[in-house]
Homo-oligomer: A and B are copies of this chain.
Amino acid sequence: MKEHLHKISLFVKNLDNEVLSVVQTISTTKHVKKGEYLLRHDEVCRHSYWIEQGVLRKFYVHEGKEHTTELLFENDIAVSLASYSLQKPGREYIQAITEAVVSQTDFASFQTAKKVYPQLMELDLLMTEYHAVWLEKRLYEFHTLDATQRYKLLLQEHPHILHTVPLTYIASYLGISLETLSRIRAKI
């Protein structure tokens, strides 16, 4: 995963200034309050959000229960791919779990820009590949690790997570109940 991110940031570093400034012009900075929603169930995801500060989560609701699919930190990009890529309503919510500052890019403008600047098309491809590999990793972890191992791994990858993300969301992200997470923590 690290290598993938490195490849992307290298690519961004080498982007033409013209391309960079185009991206600037189609993006706007947005301040988000804790608890605020950037996307709701059944809405079309018309923006991607580059997180400058703060923490977001993505989740859906199934049988009255929230399932957190992603926890997003600085420099991550928040987007509900299924909804975004086809511009049709999706099931996911995107919510700020701390105060946050995001740079929001409009889908339609970005589509247009991609046609004009193939570099942006390539960037989009790189980021989508990254996301797909990340999803494969997540599936892999669910199939090969038990709840305790997944929790330990999460702590390793995000040492500060306990300071910013409530245990409820962490449990949900790990695919376990809050009670089970509590027992795991007591046992360690």
Contact = CB atoms under 8 A, between A and B. Distances in A.
A179 B80 CA distance: 37
Contacts of A133: 81-82, 85
The secondary structure that dominates the A interface is: helix
A69 interface: yes
A4 interface: yes
Interface residues of A, number: 34
Contact of A81 (B60, B82, B122, B132): B132
A60 B143 CA distance: 11
Contacts of A82: 133, 136-137
A63 B140 CA distance: 13
11 contacts: A3-B86, A67-B144, A82-B133, A114-B122, A118-B118, A121-B121, A124-B125, A125-B125, A139-B139, A142-B142, A143-B175
A150 to B, nearest CB: 13
Residue from A136, A140, A143 having most chain B Cβ neighbours under 10 A: A136
A132 B121 contact: no
Q: Copy number in this complex?
A: 2
Contacts of A139: 69, 135, 138-139, 142
A135 to B, nearest CB: 4
A159 to B, nearest CB: 25
Nearest to A3: B86
Interface string A47-87: 00000000000001011000101000000000001100110
A69 B144 contact: no
Contact of A135 (B4, B62, B86, B135): B135
A144 B55 CA distance: 25
A88 interface: yes
A170 B118 CA distance: 41
